[in-house]
Structure 1
Amino acid sequence: MDKFDAVVIGAGVIGLAVAASLSRRFASVLLIDRAEAIGTGISSRNSEVIHAGIYYPTGSLKARLCVEGRQRLYAYCDRRGIAVNPLGKVIVATQTEQQAQLDALLAQGWANGVTDLYPLSRRQLAEFEPALAATGGLFSPSTGIVDSHSLMLSLLAEAEEQGAIFCPHSEFIAAQAGGSGFRVELKQLGERMSIDTSYLINCAGLYATQTAARIEGLAKSFIPPLHWCKGHYFAYQGKSPFSHLIYPVPEPGLKGLGVHATLDLGGLLKFGPDTQFLTPGSQESYQVPDALRQSFLEAIFRYYPGIDIDRLVPAYAGIRPKLQGPDDSEVADFLIQGEAEHGVAGLVNLIGIESPGLTASLAIAELVCRRLPAI
């Protein structure tokens, strides 16, 4: 087949969710990725946290899609038998002056529709998580963790059950917008080929702006700069001292949520990520230098003074595609552009889809479908 109703570029969790959603509406959906399998990039290199929707500016896409996506995701996992654990999150203040930040987060969460938050006193924290050193806290019961790989496999299976086709080793080269859709140029296992599609959805993650720049008919003014931000993780060997997720108060401007403690579904404790913006033109690299151990130790020690540095070992790293640069103070929202924004019929660009993208994935997919006119 060389004519499709829709082509989705990028088979991370966002592209998979979009493909699954589109395949319920259209007869022929093609999902492509230049890698050999689904979810090899951003989607497999994160904390696997289901966020509640606390941090983001009220009314922003991040806030709205996180709250809606969290509800959709828990329901989807229950329906499809995907492992989740709503173990909850404690946001901790380690200095008295940080209490005002906790109060602001509580108000922000309520404004965003996260109405199950409640504060924890120093005494309550001592009973809740005895290993913590904190002056106060905020508890989010609806924060949890998910098996992201099982989620992605389920989305792929759902899409394929509904007739979608997944093609790995397929690199997007270019697209030309025409009167009835797009002519898309691909390179598949070294061979160039052309296909036609009515709709084109750019879910290319780290490469979303590069992909957008290769779409003829899209004005360059609609392609913002994208900043790569690397985050490293360290694992903590042995039994975890915590039974919940532990987060410090977030970094200024929400550039990151701080080096936090998360548990995976097997009970392994991980710390991370840190926030290291990469220079423009950097190549993907996922090494975790052991030299970072000291800076991690200093960050963790603020809320967990009992940490044993010998149990802290390099684990993995991820790269986040940020619209907010290292010198920007304003929080950047998701950028989801349809025809109403850029004027190209049938094209949706998703740019800067970082955290809480995993949580929001199902809600993002529904929004993309709503942005597309009927065939």
Structure 2
Amino acid sequence: MSERVDCVVAGAGVVGLAVARALAMQGREVLVLEPEADIGTGTSSRSSEVIHAGIYYPTGSFKARWCVRGRELLISFCESHGVAHQRTGKLIVATSSAQLGTLEAARAQAEANGVHALRWLSGAQAKELEPALVCEAALHSPGTGIVDSHALMLALLGDIERHGGFLVRKTALAHMWQENGAMFIEASDGTRLLAKLLVNAAGLAAPQLAKKFRGLDARLIPEARYAKGSYFALSGRAPFSRLIYPVPEPGGLGVHLTLDLAMQARFGPDVQWVDDPQDLTVDPRRGDAFYAQVRKYWPGLPEGSLVPAYAGMRPKIGFGGALSSDFVVQGPQVHGLKGLVNLFGIESPGLTSALAIGEHVAALGQVA
């Protein structure tokens, strides 16, 4: 006998919770299933907690659209729910004249994405804002900030429960299939559910979970790739009050300086391709390469001041060996299975975009 429920969301990270909240606020019955003992123990707990402005992403991409929209929703949510956050602002810095063109390209990309508040600063103007900084020029992004990601997830869960939704921990999905227009779901403990809508928001495990759905075209399931990023904390107080990012470079955004809400600094992440998504140990030797990178914009970084902090795992995906550069959202119009939505490759800026992703999936769910 299967218990009937309107919507099931697999995964209680920040995106899964935002999706479940959006569905619950439509008046739908929502059940969130999380295989771990608590919410947000995966990618959501190992990010830089930055509220991004939406500067770098290709115009029209999901990342660009949902980051800009999501930032607005996130700031409003934090203000209305008392979630700790701060609009620190960010400086994107060119440390040589050769990088000025890249910096200008970042400004043009931001304008195309609808991010209009950026201000070009000379090296001297940037130094007035951050006296320890050395650069040729900088872009000031006043809309960038930081947020307490765990408090955010607790607030999202609070809204879900206030609107009649439930979270069930330590419950993994074992089998899923469609029958007579409904979603049949079997958990690893043998529990069976019958749902109108199933949302795969399992983050790193989303491709593996999709493989458990009987009848889903295997060609639509991406290959999971894992990009480990290590962070190193600064021992002592940083002489910065804003986030500092070098200009974008091939493969990432470089070794940047972020701050937590206590204004403690950390540097990273770097990029290390690994086979095991549970490989989250920080190798202290990786910090050796950070010093030269950071000293390009902060020459005063003291020797021996970087200590291993934590590592995160970017849920990268690929199709046919080629990496996908954007979020991938598959509803019935893609795979033909009514009532199923798959979310793949929700990496940065996933935290900033979460509420906008929730809006989109809730809209899909009305017709799914």
Smaller-chain TM-score bracket: over 0.9
Number of positions where the alignment pairs a residue of Structure 1 with one of Structure 2: 366
Give aligned-pair identity as a percent. Answer: 47
Q: What is residue 261 of structure 2 aligned with on the other side?
A: 265
Q: Given that residues 226 and 277 in structure 2 are in contact (C-alpha distance below 8 angstroms), is that contact kept between their aligned partners in structure 1?
A: no
SS in 2 for 1:87: coil
* Per-residue deviation, 1:251: 2.1
Query: Aligned equivalents of 1:166 and 1:51: distance in 2?
Result: 28
Q: What is residue 249 of structure 1 aligned with on the other side?
A: 247
Matched, 1:141 2:142: yes
Q: Given that residues 84 and 146 in structure 1 are in contact (C-alpha distance below 8 angstroms), is that contact kept between their aligned partners in structure 2?
A: yes
Match of 1:305 among 275, 299, 303: 299
Q: What is residue 294 of structure 1 aligned with on the other side?
A: 288
Query: Aligned equivalents of 2:328 and 2:215: distance in 1?
Result: 19
* Per-residue deviation, 1:374: 5.0
Matched, 1:239 2:213: no
Matched, 1:31 2:24: no
Unaligned runs of 5+ in 1: none
* Per-residue deviation, 1:268: 0.7
Matched, 1:365 2:345: no
Q: Given that residues 83 and 152 in structure 2 are in contact (C-alpha distance below 8 angstroms), is that contact kept between their aligned partners in structure 1?
A: yes
Q: Equivalences for 1:88-99 in 2 at 5 Å? A: 88-99=89-100
Q: TM-score, normalised by structure 2?
A: 0.96
Query: Aligned equivalents of 1:166 and 1:303: distance in 2?
Result: 45
* Per-residue deviation, 1:175: 0.2
Q: Given that residues 29 and 165 in structure 2 are in contact (C-alpha distance below 8 angstroms), is that contact kept between their aligned partners in structure 1?
A: yes
Q: Given that residues 186 and 193 in structure 2 are in contact (C-alpha distance below 8 angstroms), is that contact kept between their aligned partners in structure 1?
A: yes
Unaligned runs of 5+ in 2: none
Q: TM-score, normalised by structure 1?
A: 0.95
Moved over 4 A (4+): none
* Per-residue deviation, 1:290: 1.1
Stretch of structure 1 that moved more, 33-42 or 128-137: 128-137
Output the amino acid matched with 1:8: V
Output the amino acid matched with 2:358: A
* Per-residue deviation, 1:94: 1.0
Stretch of structure 1 that moved more, 313-322 or 288-297: 288-297
* Per-residue deviation, 1:138: 0.7
* Per-residue deviation, 1:315: 0.5
Q: Given that residues 346 and 373 in structure 1 are in contact (C-alpha distance below 8 angstroms), is that contact kept between their aligned partners in structure 2?
A: no
Q: What is residue 14 of structure 1 aligned with on the other side?
A: 15
Query: Aligned equivalents of 2:71 and 2:26: distance in 1?
Result: 23
Query: Aligned equivalents of 2:43 and 2:49: distance in 1?
Result: 11
Output the amino acid matched with 2:133: L
Q: Given that residues 5 and 26 in structure 1 are in contact (C-alpha distance below 8 angstroms), is that contact kept between their aligned partners in structure 2?
A: no
Output the amino acid matched with 1:333: D
Give me the CA root mean square deviation.
Answer: 1.5
Q: What is residue 61 of structure 1 aligned with on the other side?
A: 62
Deviation string 1:244-301 (CA, Å, 9 cap, x unpaired) is 000011122xx3211110110011101010011113xx24121111111211112212
Q: Given that residues 225 and 317 in structure 2 are in contact (C-alpha distance below 8 angstroms), is that contact kept between their aligned partners in structure 1?
A: yes
Matched, 1:197 2:198: no
